[in-house]
Amino acid sequence: MSAKPLIIAIDGPAGAGKSTTARRVAEVLGYIYIDTGAMYRAVSLSALRSSCALTNEALGLLAEASDIRLEPSDGAQKVLLNGEDVSLAIRQADVTAIVSQVSAFSSVRKALVKRQRQIGEGGGVVMDGRDIGSVVFPHAEVKVFLVADTDERVRRRLLEAQTRGEQITEDDVRQQIISRDEYDSNRAESPLIKASGAVEIDTTTCTIDEQVQTILDLVRSYQTTHSIVSAHLGF
């Protein structure tokens, strides 16, 4: 009998290693990977392009009307906004500068959380973000909270930006990360918190392989425990 497809929630601050780890875990398990930060970034890009007022009502309508799709592509994830590939555009500094503000609006969260639940409700999904284990799927079978030292997170984000060819200094990256963490953690709507039942993993000195293995061990342990319980109950 094949194991029940699970919901795996991975939350944490910027640069903690969520996306790479979540994508690899999904690959190993044959699950769908959903980067919910990319969805908030896509709405932010759409707002910039349409000069949308940064108000709850206007952004909510924009989020509802935006067709955002996440597709696997060459070991990465392609982000389509109304059919256009915006994978690179959503990582640029102008989007990063407003995404925390845009994602703090309740109307935007309502529209995107609804879609995230539709995608993940059947299980077989690894979803990363800030509120997956606390709000989107509080009943997720496996919940992980990834953290890392600020210096290490800055180093990773700087490397990513340089790989994309961006001209950005280490100080700028540090400033962005610190202010985004503060904003994301202190907003009224679904702030970044370690969800109840989440296992915290400090990735400061871990390799990606080690992070992936730790999460796969949590998955196996969940599956083993629950198959034993099911067998006892005669399911």
Please report, as ranges, the residues that interact with ligand DC according to CB under 6 A: 14, 36-37, 40-41, 99-100, 103, 129-132, 180, 184
Closest approach of ligand DC to the CB of residue 96, in Å: 8
Closest approach of ligand DC to the CB of residue 160, in Å: 11
Residue 89 or 226: which CB sits closer to ligand DC? 89
| DSSP letter string, the chain | -PPPPPEEEEE-STTSSHHHHHHHHHHHHT-EEEEHHHHHHHHHHHHHHTT---SHHHHHHHHHH--EEEEEETTEEEEEETTEE-TTGGGSHHHHHHHHHHHT-HHHHHHHHHHHHHHHTTS-EEEEESSIIIII-TT-SEEEEEE--HHHHHHHHHHHHHHTT----HHHHHHHHHHHHHHHHH-SSS---PPTTPEEEE-TT--HHHHHHHHHHHHHHHHHHHHHHHHHHT-
Residue 156 or 180: which CB sits closer to ligand DC? 180
Closest approach of ligand DC to the CB of residue 227, in Å: 30
Residue 204 or 225: which CB sits closer to ligand DC? 204
Closest approach of ligand DC to the CB of residue 83, in Å: 21
Residue 41 or 156: which CB sits closer to ligand DC? 41
